[in-house]
Every structure is written in structure tokens, then in C-alpha cells.
Structure 1
């Protein structure tokens, strides 16, 4: 598989210009179509790089993976979906997505009239082992109606925010555009905040304030998150940790591991094993 070329917006740009499987889905408003279920689940083994063009559902959606990492873009934010962290997308919210070959992709649709709103905005959800087991149970064709109702109620009780939100806000101001472009082109870019300030003709404080205003975090944290998000794409493909560390700008696997754990809550080795 070709290397991922965008850190701040993982493989979407590459998928748009290569032979990836491009899928077009309609846009629906929340509740535009009545559905006969409370929760409907599905699974798909992604055997080819896949890009879903922007769309929306009449139902709430929960996305997670049994294997590998995938991404969703909602407005100016890119979310990473893994076996441990799912993404809740409220009904009617437009989103696009992409997943590399080898991903085992899962999704659940929630009828909006039957399900209390977990969140009125996209949110990271912890996919605990119990939650995954219950969602798996809903796929059983012979599940009796009372058992299904109990299982669905337990699923709703277990939908809780994840401790680590694997998302990255993409700044869109002209001031920060060169920085975003550089990191997207090369996550190992070593240009410092002071060097960027000199290059752009502003103070470091101006850049810091702009990052805080647009992303809610400073330059260093944003850069580390962009690098880790890029690294997750490489690790999900099974690339070696030492090589990934170098490709995303870390001179040692230990420094990379510390940054990866700080942002994701797991080590690169554990994440790679989940692929």
C-alpha cells in the first residue's frame, strides 16, 4: 500500500486520487426515514482502501473497528476510530470517512425515536469488552425479542465518553495554513515555533494564540497529535515502531512511545497488536 501522505487529514487526499474504492451515499436529515429497529449492527471486512464521500444518516451512528484504524472527517475535525475508541455521529450530521485495506469495520445505527440522544454532537465513545460483546449479540439472527430489548438497553447504558478523544482540529486560517500544509506533507517536519514565527513575520505568541483559538490547544500539542494520528495509520498497516517513529519526527522509539501513550492512552506496540 502506498504511504500515507497527509498527517492532519490522513489518507483522504490519497484515496481521492488513487484507485481506492469510492462510495457515494445519500444525505438524510435526522429522522427523515422511519426505521423499524432500535439498534441495527453490521460488519464489513475492508479488502481495499475505501473512501466514503460526505453523507449523513437519518439515524444516529456508532463506528468502531474490530481490527485496524479508520478515520472520519466532520467539519474541521478528523477523528480516528480504533478497536478501543468508537465515534458517535448524531443523525443528520454530514461526515466523510476512509479506511485502509485490512480494516474490520463495524457500525451500528440507532433509531432516533427509540434511543435517547447520547450526545448532540460527535463524540468519542469507549468500546469496552462488554459493550463489544453486547453489540455482537445483536447480530445473532435467532435473538428473541425480549432478549434483544434487554441487550439494547444494556448497550445504551454502556455508551460512555472515552478517556482519550482521538481527534484533531484542522485550522483553516490563512496564518496557520502554511504550517498545516507542511505537517500534512511531512509529519517529521522539524520547523520550530520560533522558526515559523520568523518565516511568517509574526510573533510566537500570535501563532500560539491562533492555535488556541482554532484548535483549543497549543502548537506543540497540535503537532504531537497530528504526528500520532499519522503514526496510527502506519501502525495499523503493521509497520515497525522504530520506522514509524522516524517517519513522524521522533528520533527515538521511547520518545515516540511517550507521546503516543500521552495522546491515545496505549503504547504503540499495543495499538499495533490490535490491528
Structure 2
């Protein structure tokens, strides 16, 4: 460990999923600024290509792989690309996820439930399997951060599939943390509160009264910027959090303290 380095992720090779927008894109910029070489994966190539060009233009090491975290072969290609380009995979931020239109549980369509669980749970599972294999093969340990949500800690009405999926992410995180910490692989999670993103902005546009409700419901009465969530992920991926294992860091303006 190099705890005294001024850059959190100096010399590390990091994989970021769901990197084309929102928290993922903010994480790409943050990880690069903190010294990492990044491999980005998401489904939308134009956004990935533009972000990668931006990062390279600023002097950072960045590459992208177009892929879907629900497809094992896509995740394997991304992990392989990170190792091939940068010699190792030292850190991963499993950020990719989707939401669903609010609907009572008994009216929720099976295909919607399956889609949310497939991306948010199987996607994280797919990623961790490939990332851990690469880290074990290298024998030098690593760090993994899974993006859950305050919905992984508490429940609210009409979002059963999303809540179930984000609770499951925390279960996977704890299980992997317990299993692989002896191998030097630390696995943790973050639980963001309401954060500016395409998903939340679209939801608030359809439900304008909800923004005021959200603002009233946390001690810090505002919606987070993606950058604020990315900073937390970067710290957990760094050696500065070297004794943090199996934890869930709430980044929610105090919402879960209510």
C-alpha cells in the first residue's frame, strides 16, 4: 500500500461499468483524475467514445468496451481488455443498473421484474465473477465496489423489484467480502440517495411533486451530483480504505438517518 500518495488511485487499473452517463461517467473522470487507468463498459458506444476521447485529451489513460453486464462474454471482454492494456485489474466499480416505472407489486409485469433483477443483480454477479478471477490470477489482491442504493437499506412503496435487486446487491457484496478478503480482495458497496442522472431526472419530470418530497426527507435537503457519489467509490477503491471490508457506505445526505 502507498497510503501517502497524493492521488487516491495512482498506478491502478480500474474497470467501471455503466460508464456512459451519470454516476458511471463521473466515476470515469474522478478515477482518472486520481491517477487510475480506466476501462469503461456500457451499452451506448457514442457516449462511451466521446467520454474516452475527452479523458485521453486530458492526458489520461482510458479505453472502452461496448457491452452489457448481463452478458458474461461482454464482461469477460472488458476485464480482459483492462488486463491486456494495463497489466492488471486492481479496482472495479460495478455501477451499471436500471430502474422501473413505479407500480404496485401485484401489478408488476414479470418481464419488468426479470429485467431489473437481471441487470442489477445478475449483472453485479457476472462482473464480480470475472473481476475476482482476474485478481486471483494476478495474486496481488484488489478492490471492488458495488453500487447499491438507499433502496438496498430501506423500503418505499411501488418499487418492489428495484428494492429487491438493491438489497440483493448488498447480500452479494457481503458474501464476496467474507470469501475473498483472505485473498487480499476487498469488496464493499455504496448506497447513494437521490442523485442527478438520466433515470432520476426522467422520473422527476413525470412526477414533479416528488422533488419537493425528496428535498424535505433528508437532513441535507438537496439531490446529489454524480460527482459526489463517484468520490465515495474512488475512496473505497483506494488503499486509503484498506481496513474497510464488506461495508455499505451511505451517500445520501442523511436520508437513512430519519
Same-fold status (TM-score > 0.5) = no
Could you say which structure has the higher helix fraction? 2
TM-score when scaled to structure 2?
0.28
TM-score when scaled to structure 1?
0.27
Q: Answer with 1 or 2: which has the greater Rg.
A: 1
Could you say which structure has the higher strand fraction? 1
